[in-house]
Structure 1
Amino acid sequence: MTRNRLLASVAAVVIWFVPTPSSAQIAVFDPSNYSQNLMTAANTLRQIENQITALQNQTQMLLNQARQLASLPTSLVNDIDRTFTQTQNLLRQADRIAYDVQAIEQTFQRYQNFSGSQSDRQLIDSARDRWETSVSAFQHAMSVGATAVNNLPATQSQTGALVTASQSAVGVLQASQAGNQLLGVQARQLADLTALLAAQGRAQSIEQARQAASEDQAREQTRRFLSNGRGYQPQSVQMFH
């Protein structure tokens, strides 16, 4: 035993045997109680830290959920819908023969059944009307094609904006909305292509019908020429009087 420890033991024995008045109070340090209190404080502090960590995790989860539900700030739906409306209005402008099944059937009745009751003037007017309808159909097809071409820069701009918005999306909702709008742009392109094909098919069909009607009318006019009166009779003609 070292000297310090020996002195400490002697001092403790002296204190133990020194008589004290009955009214005096001595503060006694209890290591076991102190250790227990210290452990309780440490456990309480650990529980508080765990609660703080749980609250932080819950807050982060709520923030992540908020990001997933955040709406896309870029919206081109109105622009896409406006182009759809423009294409539809252009198709409605088709004159003479519209994109209507009943109207087509009624109109094409004039392209057939040339009878002898029609005068030559009526045949000529009918042929001219068919020619003007064919020219109008080709003009309409070119207008639809020009509109489709003019929509290409807008399509490029809209696609670029939506791709950029999709790449910078902070959540699933924003990415989904950007993808839906891209599908809308593609649908509008398909609509332009459908309109162009329909206009070109309309023009070609009208022209083919005009050619067929012209052949039928030519047969009728030839029949009239050959059956009118006594027909052609050759005769001498004197020229250069």
Structure 2
Amino acid sequence: MKIRTFRTRAMALAATMLAAAPIALSPMVATPALAWRIVYDPTNYAQNVLTAARTLEQITHQITSLQNEAQMLINQARNLASLPFSALQTLQQNVQKTQQLLSQAQNIAFNVQQIDQMFSQKYGSVSMSSTDAQLVANARDRWKNTVGGLQDAMRVQAGVVSNIDTNRTQMSALVNQSQGATGALQATQAGNQILALQSQQLSDLVALLAANGRAGALTEAERAAAAEQGREQRRRFLTPGSGYQPGNAQMFNNGN
């Protein structure tokens, strides 16, 4: 009984081991096949695609931001670029030419002290003690001053006219520079130079008015001084004893 029981238990144990053997060996056989199989998870794939799209969108925004910043820097550089053209030297030369013509005024220059001195000597009241020769000399000096003033005015007029062609060239160049400006600074500098050109033209106009006014003032002053001198000469002519004295005049040689 014991042997049969032992055999029965041994056979049962063997059967159990045989039954369990496929289960124990199955992982050893199936494991390599499962290691090479790709598992597809739709939820995980969708999340990965969404993450990649969001990352791409962020990169696109960063690229756009960098492009905008680069364009902003380019625009700032353009706005800070200086104008590669200057008409200042030419305009200053024109002003100097006009000033030189004014400084070359004859006899009575544009000087307050000199004007006061000359008018007190030549254009003031005629002194009764002045000789006829002095009166004639003063009248000639006044005439020279008037003629010189007229000549000076015409010289200034000629100088202003000669500046017109130069101003036209500079104005054309400045307008082209203003229209082709790459930034705000260049446009502003071109506008400032155009204003400088207008200032130079205004200075020429002021010089022209001053020269013409000087010539006109000298003409009127000579006329007023001539009228005063004429009255003095007439008084001397009509004054008894010192004026005209009748006498005998010999018109033909009597042969002596």
TM-score by length of 1: 0.84
Asked if residue 160 in structure 1 is aligned to residue 172 in structure 2, the reply is yes
**Equivalent residue for 1:126?**
138
How far apart, in 1, do the equivalents of 2:110 and 2:230 lie? 29
Q: 2:156 aligns with which of 136, 139, 144?
A: 144
AA in 1 matched with 2:39: F
Asked if residue 203 in structure 1 is aligned to residue 215 in structure 2, the reply is yes
**Equivalent residue for 1:39?**
50
**What is the CA deviation profile of residues 64-92 of structure 1, one whole-angstrom value per residue up to 9, with x for unaligned ones?**
12212222122101111111122122211
| Conservation of the 8 A alpha-carbon contact between 2:236 and 2:242 | no
Q: 1:29 aligns with which of 24, 31, 39?
A: 39
How far apart, in 2, do the equivalents of 1:30 and 1:160 lie? 76
Judging changes above 3 Å, is the alpha-carbon distance between structure 1 residues 230 and 98 closer, same or farther for their aligned structure 2 residues?
closer
**Equivalent residue for 2:69?**
58
Judging changes above 3 Å, is the alpha-carbon distance between structure 1 residues 231 and 163 closer, same or farther for their aligned structure 2 residues?
closer
How far apart, in 2, do the equivalents of 1:152 and 1:122 lie? 45
Give 3-state SS (helix, strand or coil) of 1:137's partner. Answer: helix
**What is the CA deviation profile of residues 112-170 of structure 1, one whole-angstrom value per residue up to 9, with x for unaligned ones?**
12112212222121111111111111110000000011111011111111111111112
Deviates more, 1:228-237 or 1:42-51: 228-237
How far apart, in 1, do the equivalents of 2:148 and 2:38 lie? 115
Higher CA-based Rg:
2
Deviates more, 1:202-211 or 1:170-179: 170-179
Asked if residue 227 in structure 1 is aligned to residue 239 in structure 2, the reply is yes
Gaps of 5+ in 1: 1-17
Judging changes above 3 Å, is the alpha-carbon distance between structure 1 residues 231 and 134 closer, same or farther for their aligned structure 2 residues?
closer
Judging changes above 3 Å, is the alpha-carbon distance between structure 1 residues 80 and 233 closer, same or farther for their aligned structure 2 residues?
closer
Judging changes above 3 Å, is the alpha-carbon distance between structure 1 residues 228 and 112 closer, same or farther for their aligned structure 2 residues?
farther
Percent same amino acid among aligned pairs? Answer: 50
**Equivalent residue for 2:10?**
none
Q: 1:106 aligns with which of 96, 117, 121?
A: 117
Shift, 1:102, TM fit: 2.7
Judging changes above 3 Å, is the alpha-carbon distance between structure 1 residues 54 and 231 closer, same or farther for their aligned structure 2 residues?
closer
Gaps of 5+ in 2: 1-24
How far apart, in 1, do the equivalents of 2:177 and 2:242 lie? 83
How far apart, in 2, do the equivalents of 1:233 and 1:177 lie? 79
**Equivalent residue for 1:180?**
192
TM-score by length of 2: 0.79
Asked if residue 20 in structure 1 is aligned to residue 14 in structure 2, the reply is no
AA in 1 matched with 2:190: A
Length, aligned pairs only: 224
Q: 2:59 aligns with which of 36, 48, 55?
A: 48
Shift, 1:95, TM fit: 2.5
**Equivalent residue for 2:107?**
96
How far apart, in 1, do the equivalents of 2:171 and 2:31 lie? 94
| Conservation of the 8 A alpha-carbon contact between 2:171 and 2:197 | yes
**Equivalent residue for 2:17?**
none
AA in 2 matched with 1:19: S
AA in 2 matched with 1:33: N
**Equivalent residue for 2:87?**
76
Shift, 1:222, TM fit: 2.0
Give 3-state SS (helix, strand or coil) of 1:73's partner. Answer: coil
**Equivalent residue for 1:3?**
none
How far apart, in 1, do the equivalents of 2:140 and 2:116 lie? 19
